[in-house]
Amino acid sequence: MKGEVVVRDHPLSGVDERLPTRQRILITLKMMGEASTQQLATRLGMTAMGVRRHLYALEAAGVIAHRVVRYGQGRPRFVYFLTPEGHHWFAQRYAALSLELLTYLAELYGEEAVALLFERRARRRVEEASRVLGDLPVEERVAALAELLDREGYLAVWHKEGPGQYCLCEHHCAIHDVAVRFPQACVSELKFIQALFPEASVERVRHLVQGHYYCAYRIVIPGEIEEGT
């Protein structure tokens, strides 16, 4: 269908094998959204029995939960996912303080002041990222940006969808609680990425705040698409 946006399954960046097993399970669930015991075992290079033991402990701790999925006449499978407490296991640094201060700012000076604050933050991030990305070709720039965002805690990955088409995914948002209250934060994030790819069309096609498992940005270079057709 014309104008329809399709986001394909994308490869996960490798989870550091040096991390404790339960931490690796939480990171994998954060990035996959949900997974069965066998899927986790395959991703982590473990036996299903070994993974199951850790899943029981994590569920008892309240950081994951499961739902039952049935396929035809076969045995039902448990599919695991993070609970709200599990999501908060990922560092939400100073989120409560930031949210409180922004609320005061909005009360004193209006929502426009909050928007200006996020615009200034976006400009600062563009300046810093531009020093790293420089004049790299588009594909290398996408890869470098994903690496930069990953180091900042966004659990970012990317993949190429076709000639001149790329998808950048952020599986974690360090300011999620702020973004829920102040949509200006998400507007700022989109503008930040758009500024780094002035020759491209950039749109958000998945959104954590709207209930998706991750934020995804589709980056399209019109000239490259025409050359690839």
Rounded to whole angstroms, the Cα distance separating 20 from 54 reads 11
Rounded Cα distance between 60 and 206, Å, is 31
Alpha helices in the chain (DSSP H): 21-32, 37-44, 48-60, 84-89, 95-109, 111-133, 138-151, 176-181, 184-196, 222-228
Residue 218 above 50 pLDDT? Answer: yes
Same fold flag, 21-89 and 95-228: no
Q: Look up residue 29 and give its two tokens.
A: 């669930």
Domain 95-228, second-level architecture: Alpha-Beta Complex (3.90)
pTM for this entry: 0.66
Helices (H), 110-136: 111-133
21-89 carries CATH number 3.40.50.720 = no
Average pLDDT, the chain: 85
Q: What was the pLDDT predicted at 3? A: 39
Bigger pLDDT: 35 vs 91: 35
Mean pLDDT of 211-218: 94
**Residue 195 CA to chain centroid, in angstroms?**
19
Residue with tokens 């698409």, as numbered in its chain = 225
Phi/psi of residue 167, nearest 5 degrees: -130, 125
Query: pLDDT tens across 14-26, in order?
Result: 555 667 888 889 9
Q: Are strands 201-206 and 77-82 parallel, antiparallel or unpaired?
A: unpaired
Residue 71 to residue 75: CA distance in whole angstroms: 7
- Which of the 8 DSSP states describes residue 63? S
Confidence class for position 229, pLDDT limits 50, 70, 90: low
Do the Cβ atoms of 58 and 64 come closer than 8 Å? yes
What share of the chain in percent tops pLDDT 70?
A: 87
Bridge partner residues of 65 (DSSP)? 81
Q: Measured between alpha carbons, how far is residue 11 from residues 43, 141, 148, 158, 167 in Å?
A: 11, 18, 18, 8, 11
Domain boundaries in the chain? Answer: 21-89, 95-228
Whose tokens are 């491209």? That residue is: 200
